[in-house]
Structure 1
Amino acid sequence: MLRRIPIRWRLAAAFAVSMAALLLALGGFVYLRVEDALRSSVDQDLRAQSAESLAHAEDGSLLDTDARRSGMVAQVVGPDGRVVQSDPVSLPALLDPAVVAAARRGDVLTTVSLGAGELNRWRVLAAPDGDRVLVVAHPLRQTEETLHRLFGGLLVAGPLGLLLATLGGYLLAAAALRPVESMRRRASAISATTPGARLPVPPSRDEIHDLATTLNEMLARLEAALEHERRFVADASHELRTPLALLKTELELALRRPRSAEELRAAVGSAADETDRLVLLAEDLLLIARSDQEALGLRIEPVDLGELARSTADRFAERASHEGRRIAVEIPTDTEVPADRLRLEQALRNLVDNALGHGEGTVTISARREGAGVELHVRDQGRGFSSDVAARAFERFSRGDDARGRGGSGLGLAIVEAVAQAHGGSAGIARDGGGADVWISLPSTR
């Protein structure tokens, strides 16, 4: 139930409770301090009057004119406990015999009631005077009336102050949350059809400003990711369209008129080649999609890079020989890294295939240690990457203009980078003027 209440009301309620406790404590403190000050003033007057009365006791006058005007009364109690002198004369005994007996041993301050009601209380000081006791009393009526007025004022001012403070707290909370409400309204209108839309950022340099800035940065990242996925789907659709169209054409031509066995065999062979291309493209797309979700499922084991490079070179040896080229391996046999052999072999095959398809001369596979890792390099002797192609070589479906007529999906180097990153490494391109040098860096320990 509490969660359904708006935050501004909850903040105002919490502020009201805190302010009520503060006002209650402050009111109690003020009341007690005023009461203590008034009582201390009365006691001080009693002690001053008692000292003066003792000094003039032989004159027969117990109180001076000012004391009588303030309402003070006084008595002298004899050794037998009876009142021997009073001012005024008709004053009844102010203290019980027990209190008088205690006063013979030292001053006694006490409060007594000399009639019905709260406003008939008196503050009494009993002081010894030889074998007698001087009793001086001051009425507390004025003091208690002052305290009652103070209490009434606190009862009125406290709730009024609490109401004003609560209203101020509500307005303050509403003002503080107004930018949040503005961001909420704008966020409700943002969708995939409103690219570039951002939340309003308040001018104040506070937490709300930081929140709006962070959310706008998140929107920018989401927009970039959405655009990346749109481009990925569009590029994948484009790449799939060509082999599917060729496959459909081959099958339609085979069915258009009666064909000889040789022609049917050629048509089926061409369709099988396009099917293989489709399967390979689908596998590459699946690997890229899994790498986005960090779910390649690596099986880490010690991999001998020299043995892996030689087996890869053997796989491409016939193709390289047919093109009048060769593949050289310059890796010691004892160079090992913890890796997934199948994924690392796939990445290395893509590098060699890319070097044979777009480079020239000898393709060299080498490895060298760099810090705590190992770099696996594939170099050729061609023209290398141009600066604009090198900047986007690892992007998906990225191909240079001169490479578009040579086939390929443009996913080879993207898969290389995905495999390297899945192993905790990276991929890069070096341009030294003597050809292309593409490498992947792998940690040597895991």
Structure 2
Amino acid sequence: MSRLTLRTRLTLLTFGVLLCTLLAFAGVAGAVLWQVELRSITRQGAAQADALLAVVQATPGRLPDLADDILEENGVTAAGRVYVAGRPRWAGGASGPDTLDPAFLAGRGAAQTRTVDGYLVTSRREGDAAVQVGHNLLPLRHLMGRYVSIAALTLLLLSSLGGWLVAREVRRTLRPLETLARRVQHLDTPEPLPALGERDEVGALARALQNSLEALRAERERETLFLASASHELRTPVTALLADLQHTLARERPPEEWHAALERTERTAARLRQLTGNLMALTRAQRLPALGPPDWPVLDLLPLAGEAVDLLQPLALKRDLDLWLDGDPAPLPGDSALLSSVLENLIGNAVKFTPPGGQVLVHVGPLAGGGAALTVEDSGPGFPPGTLTAAFVRGQTDVEGFGLGLAVVRQVVEVHGGTLHLGRAAGGGARVEVTLPGAVFPRKVFLGEGGVSDQL
């Protein structure tokens, strides 16, 4: 059965169930018909036997003249017998059994009905006189035989008709499923699935498949963007590293040139380490929505910001920048590694793109309804025009340092249910505002240029 199609299995199942149901109904109807006809014959025989007995008791001499009328009814003549003192005295009508039950003749009972040699025999006795009327059951058996033949033919016809109707309905019902099966094999087709507006199970399946296809398509887009971001971000430092090494190894150099080359290699390696860290953070953040709402511990964003400031303070001092942190404790449930990557990327970009002599201000504070707010503001040139949308939508920009870092920030803020606004500070620098309520998972991220927020 498992090798048969669903349509064939449903058709055979319906045919079998319908056949069994009709067979049971026909059996019950046949038994009822037999009992009804048998009771009718029994009542007829009892009436005829009572009439014969009355004639025998009142006017025995008229019995031959009246017996034929008594024994014939509806064109059927029964067999009649009369006994006096246990001896046969008269017989007429159709042929039939001509003996009475010895116990009945002996006076045990005044009425009796039994089947003898295919006849339904009804006996009555009063005093020394006894009569019996016998009805041949062969016509009833012929009637039941015709009923069985007609019922069998009717059962086969009705079962076949029911199976055909069910097969046609199943074919009509399963046609959208076959279309869906062919459609889901082509994930890149932009057209929506058929039967989305149906209210039956096929429509529910189509809507579920449509949601799954959209999720798969979004996942593929994220993977494509991730690979594009990784290749874009890694291409420049790797190419620079190889070119520098090839140039350095091309000829013998004095120790000071070797030292300078190693310093450049160290900077490039640090850049690669930062990129790989961002790639790992982005991969981890992208996997979280598929795993369901996380059970994060409650942490304080202020100490995490302090660690990020301490980590980047040497770079700020090297660039002659003032890096400040102020605020209050801001507890929220979250992933410390991912939130640290947000802090390091935002503060690191502010330090990197702020000219010498400028300042970077980091502020952390609690939200009224729970969670934390983070603001990073610098006195640099601000975000270059067009970089925000490119960084957030494509995960990469033409400005080194913006693409993958901002993509990580966006993804981490999104999985924490937060909002993100990118704009310009009052003095013309860059200003980044992050809110992390920590109770909503996930929510869309907001970004903006020039103080305007748009929902992605």
Q: How does 1:36-51 map to 2 (within 5 A)?
A: 36-51=35-50
Native 8 Å contact 1:19 1:162 kept in 2: yes
Matched with 1:351 is 346
1:110 equivalent to 2:114? Answer yes
Q: How does 1:17-32 map to 2 (within 5 A)?
A: 17-32=16-31
d(CA) in 1 for partners of 2:247, 2:95 = 141
Counterparts in 2 of 1:90 and 1:183: CA distance versus 1, 3 Å: closer
**Aligned residue type for 2:418:** A
2:311 pairs with one of 289, 312, 315 = 315
Matched with 1:117 is none
1:166 equivalent to 2:166? Answer no
Native 8 Å contact 2:83 2:129 kept in 1: yes
Q: How does 1:132-211 map to 2 (within 5 A)?
A: 132-188=129-185, 190=186, 194-196=188-190, 199-201=193-195, 205-211=199-205
**Aligned residue type for 1:346:** S
Native 8 Å contact 2:332 2:438 kept in 1: yes
Helix, strand or coil: the match of 1:429? Answer: strand
Native 8 Å contact 1:331 1:366 kept in 2: yes
d(CA) in 2 for partners of 1:336, 1:213 = 40
**Aligned residue type for 1:207:** E
Q: How does 1:252-331 map to 2 (within 5 A)?
A: 252-294=246-288, 303-320=299-316, 322=319, 324-331=321-328
Native 8 Å contact 1:396 1:411 kept in 2: no
Counterparts in 2 of 1:225 and 1:443: CA distance versus 1, 3 Å: closer
User: How far has the Cα of 1:363 moved from its partner?
Assistant: 1.8
d(CA) in 1 for partners of 2:2, 2:95 = 72
Native 8 Å contact 2:421 2:433 kept in 1: yes
Q: How does 1:384-423 map to 2 (within 5 A)?
A: 397-398=395-396, 405=399, 407-416=400-409, 418-419=411-412
Matched with 2:91 is 86
How does the TM-score come out when normalised to structure 1? 0.78
d(CA) in 2 for partners of 1:139, 1:216 = 73
d(CA) in 2 for partners of 1:325, 1:222 = 46
Matched with 1:125 is 122
How does the TM-score come out when normalised to structure 2? 0.77
**Aligned residue type for 1:9:** T
Counterparts in 2 of 1:221 and 1:277: CA distance versus 1, 3 Å: same
Native 8 Å contact 1:75 1:136 kept in 2: yes
Native 8 Å contact 1:384 1:436 kept in 2: no
Counterparts in 2 of 1:394 and 1:196: CA distance versus 1, 3 Å: same
Helix, strand or coil: the match of 1:442? Answer: coil
1:377 equivalent to 2:374? Answer yes
Native 8 Å contact 2:322 2:360 kept in 1: yes
Counterparts in 2 of 1:53 and 1:293: CA distance versus 1, 3 Å: same
Native 8 Å contact 2:281 2:341 kept in 1: no
User: How far has the Cα of 1:299 moved from its partner?
Assistant: 11
User: How far has the Cα of 1:25 moved from its partner?
Assistant: 0.8
Helix, strand or coil: the match of 1:3? Answer: coil
**Aligned residue type for 1:415:** V
Counterparts in 2 of 1:279 and 1:317: CA distance versus 1, 3 Å: closer
Helix, strand or coil: the match of 2:81? Answer: strand
Helix, strand or coil: the match of 2:273? Answer: helix
Counterparts in 2 of 1:135 and 1:364: CA distance versus 1, 3 Å: same
Counterparts in 2 of 1:331 and 1:363: CA distance versus 1, 3 Å: same
1:366 pairs with one of 357, 364, 367 = 364
User: How far has the Cα of 1:341 moved from its partner?
Assistant: 4.2
Helix, strand or coil: the match of 1:329? Answer: strand
User: How far has the Cα of 1:231 moved from its partner?
Assistant: 2.5
Aligned pair count reads 420
User: How far has the Cα of 1:100 moved from its partner?
Assistant: 4.4
Could you list the per-position Cα deviations for residues 255-306 of structure 1 after superposition, in whole angstroms to 9, with x for gaps in the alignment? 344433222322221122112211211221122223333499x997664544
Native 8 Å contact 1:330 1:367 kept in 2: yes
Matched with 1:71 is 77
Matched with 2:420 is 429
Structure 2 unaligned residues grouped into runs of 5+ = 441-456
d(CA) in 1 for partners of 2:295, 2:134 = 100
Helix, strand or coil: the match of 2:253? Answer: coil
Larger displacement relative to structure 2 (163-172 or 43-52): 163-172
Identity %: 27
Native 8 Å contact 2:229 2:404 kept in 1: no
Native 8 Å contact 1:356 1:363 kept in 2: no
Counterparts in 2 of 1:320 and 1:202: CA distance versus 1, 3 Å: closer
**Aligned residue type for 2:328:** I
Counterparts in 2 of 1:384 and 1:304: CA distance versus 1, 3 Å: same
